[in-house]
Amino acid sequence: MLTIIFFLSSGLFLGWSLGANDAANIFGTAVGTKMIKFKTAALICSIFIILGAVVSGAGASHTLGKLGAVNQLAGAFIVALAAAITVMWMTKAGLPVSTSQAIVGAIIGWNFFSQTATSMSSLYKIIGTWVFSPILSALFAFLFFHITKRIVEKSRIHLMRLDSYTRIGLLIVGAFGSYSLGANNIGNVMGVFINSSPFKDISIEGLFHLSSIQQLFLLGGIAIAFGVFTYSKKVMMTVGSGIFKLSPVTALVVVLASSITLFLFASQGLHDLLTSLHLPAFPLVPVSSSQAVVGSVMGISLAKGGRNINYKKLSQISMGWVATPLASAILAYVALFFMQNVFMQSVFQ
Amino acid sequence: MPKFFNSKSKQLEGDIDGFLDRVTTAGLIFQEGVKAYVIGKKDKFEKNYKDITDLESDADNIRRDIKHKLYTYMLIPESRGDVLGLLETLDDIVDICEKVLEQFSIENPEIPEFLKSDFIELSELSSKTVEEVVKAARAFFREIGMVSDYVNKVHFYEHEADDVEEHLKRSAFNSDEIKRFSHKVHMRYFAEKIAAVSDVAESVAERLSVYAIKRRI
């Protein structure tokens, strides 16, 4: 049992850092501008992240599984650890880092080490989605911004009432965003452990069923929630008053646009519905919530006439598509070598 | 929770509307008061003076209450400073309206016949600026796009008031009818006091146009 916990710890650590960093993408402005209390935000965020992870986390994780099926617990430990260290390192360097990109790099590193062929179709699908997701977010934000502006102007709603509606909106959209984040990003945290999951399915009287994967995701969700409670406040205060200076109403638009993007790339239900209607479905791929938010902010800048577009941020994002997976892959490869040859652990079958 | 938010917001909406109503009323009482004094209806003037004194303390209380509520319930964190600044400067208008009537009541200036129409017109124009600046303030809360329209009207009436003020002062100093220099100075003093209402209204309008830009989504 202790070995299992030890090996899962890197994934849990990755979850913790995801919670610490990414909760701010959803509730950052709301908390930073004091529209919502941190405790309320953290509670809602945690509950919905766990729900999203357990209920609809499978889809995006599945794609990661196709990219490389890490089949030994020790290997999975190293893959998650390499991703976590990359995330930490990039965060320290002040780059908008994504756990999705780090874990994909680490999985590819494992593929190289174990001489497993990387599924190129999965890789293209994943990278294509990374490029597409901020653009999609920007489009949503552009559209929602115009709609919201029109509604607020036409409705002649009083500033006080607008304020209270915005608070309620931020809570609801925040809950949706947290759910989508949990569903889309749990694969990053726990996906690599799926094939070596130590858990057994639990079924109580046929009423309640929790598969081994869901238990894994529940654990990952709790780790994310822990990150939200212990560390995200600091990040939220920076987001709320720092990089993206948004009014509460525009923050609502940004969070809604980003959440929908995350949801589209995570929802199995929507995927099945679109497929059954013979429509092109969104691939279920873990994307970066930070980049979705940056995309949304760009969308708003465009809607306001293209002022204040932060080209530096844009170039940082595209750099992240290459640099993060590369760093993480190299780190994973080296660490796997040490795990196998120094600590004498089998890292693949 | 939504009900909690809503009831507080509605309460404050009512408080703000009530405050703005009082500012408009102060402008009207001010106008009526000056007119009553100038045409010699002293009883009516004293009633206007009493009314505006009551109104001034009433407006003060409402403003303090709004401030207290905004901070206690942590409402509109983004625009709280602007809203309180706006209400404070609007309150200055009420104060100055009251002060002018008080000066009339204390100093009992003797208004010569040929200056009466100018004094009345000046008070009307000043009151008009108050009316328009309150409309601008209401627009700030509900219809941000309209703020600049009302602000323009405030500028227009303030400019008109300046013209009348200048005309009044020139008439006073060029007149042979007013014998004492001190009397001429007294007329100038009251002309400036009445015109000061429109000046304060204009500075509130200036603030409003900046707030409106900040509040645009």
Residue A266 main-chain phi, psi, to 5 deg: -125, -20
Instruction: Give the pLDDT confidence score for residue A311 in this predicted structure.
Output: 73
pLDDT average, residue stretch A46-60: 91
The answer to whether residue A309 scores a pLDDT higher than 60 is yes
| Token duo for residue A337 | 């070598």
pLDDT level of residue A239 (50, 70, 90 thresholds)? low
| HSE-up (13 A, CA, CB side) for residue A123 | 14
Residue A349 forms part of a structural domain:
no
Per-residue pLDDT tens digits for A254-268:
999 999 999 999 888
Q: Chain B contacts of A146, Cβ < 8 Å? A: none
Q: What is the pLDDT of residue B6?
A: 62
In chain B, the N- to C-terminal Cα span, in Å, equals 25
**Residue A260 within a domain:** yes
Question: How many degrees, rounded to 5, is the angle at CA A224 between CA A221 and CA A230?
Answer: 140
What pLDDT band is residue A58 in, cutting at 50, 70 and 90? Answer: confident
Inform me whether the pLDDT recorded for A26 exceeds 60. yes
Instruction: Provide the number of structural domains found in chain A.
Output: 1
pLDDT tens digit sequence for A142-155? 999 999 999 988 88
> What pLDDT does B203 receive?
96
Read off the CATH number of the domain in which B165 is found. Answer: 1.20.58.220
**How many angstroms separate the CA atoms of A290 and A286, rounded?**
12
Confidence band of A96 (pLDDT split at 50, 70, 90): low
- A16 contacts: CB under 8 Å, gap ≥ 6: A223, A224, A226, A227, A230, A231
Domain, as residue range, for B127: 2-215
pLDDT value for A307: 66
pLDDT > 80? residue A240: no
pLDDT-flagged residues of chain B (< 50): 1-2
* Residue A325 near residue A290 (C-beta atoms within 8 A): no
Judge whether B71 is closer than 8 Å to chain A, CB to CB. no
Token digits of residue A157: 């709603």
Residue A64, token pair as written in the block? 């990661």
Separation in Å, CA A209 to CA A54, A193, A198, A205, A293: 11, 20, 17, 9, 35
Residue of B nearest to A163 (CA): B76
Q: How many domains does chain B have?
A: 1
Write the pLDDT tens digit of every residue in A29-43.
Answer: 888 778 899 999 999
Question: A74-112 as b/e, with b when 16 or more CB fall inside 10 Å?
Answer: bbbbbbbbbbbbbbbbbeeeebbbbbbbbbbbbbbbbbb
> What residue numbers bound the domain in which A178 lies?
2-341
Mean pLDDT across chain A: 86
Which residue of chain B has the CA closest to A166? Answer: B76
Q: What is the pLDDT of residue A42?
A: 94
Tokens 């645009």 label which residue? B216
Tell me how far apart the alpha carbons of residues B198 and B206 are, in angstroms, rounded to a whole number. Answer: 12
What is the percentage of chain A residues whose pLDDT exceeds 90?
A: 35
A348 assigned to some structural domain:
no
Nearest to B6 among A148, A164, A248 (CB): A164
Binding-site residues on chain A for chain B (CB distance < 8 A): 33-35, 145, 148-149, 152-153, 156-161, 163-164, 167-168, 171, 247-250
ipTM of this predicted structure: 0.82
Measured torsion, CA atoms of residues B30, B33, B38, B43, in degrees rounded to the nearest 10: -170
Tens digits of per-residue pLDDT, A324-340? 899 999 999 999 999 88
Span A193-214, pLDDT tens digits: 888 777 788 877 777 788 888 8
Residue A347 included in any domain: no
Is the model more confident about A21 or about A263? A263
- Which residues does B9 contact at the CB level (< 8 Å), separation at least 6? A158, A160, A161, A163, A164, B75
Taking CB atoms and an 8 Å limit, are A164 and B9 in contact across chains? yes
Q: Which residue of B has its CA nearest to A154?
A: B143
> What are the C-alpha distances in Å from A43 to residues A36, B66, B82?
11, 31, 31
Q: What is the pLDDT of residue B170?
A: 97
Residue pair A101/A229 in contact (Cβ under 8 Å)? The answer is no
What is the reported pLDDT for A244? 56
Q: Which of these, A7, A1, A79, A24, lies nearest to A224 by C-alpha position?
A: A24
Give a yes or no: residue A212 inside a domain.
Answer: yes
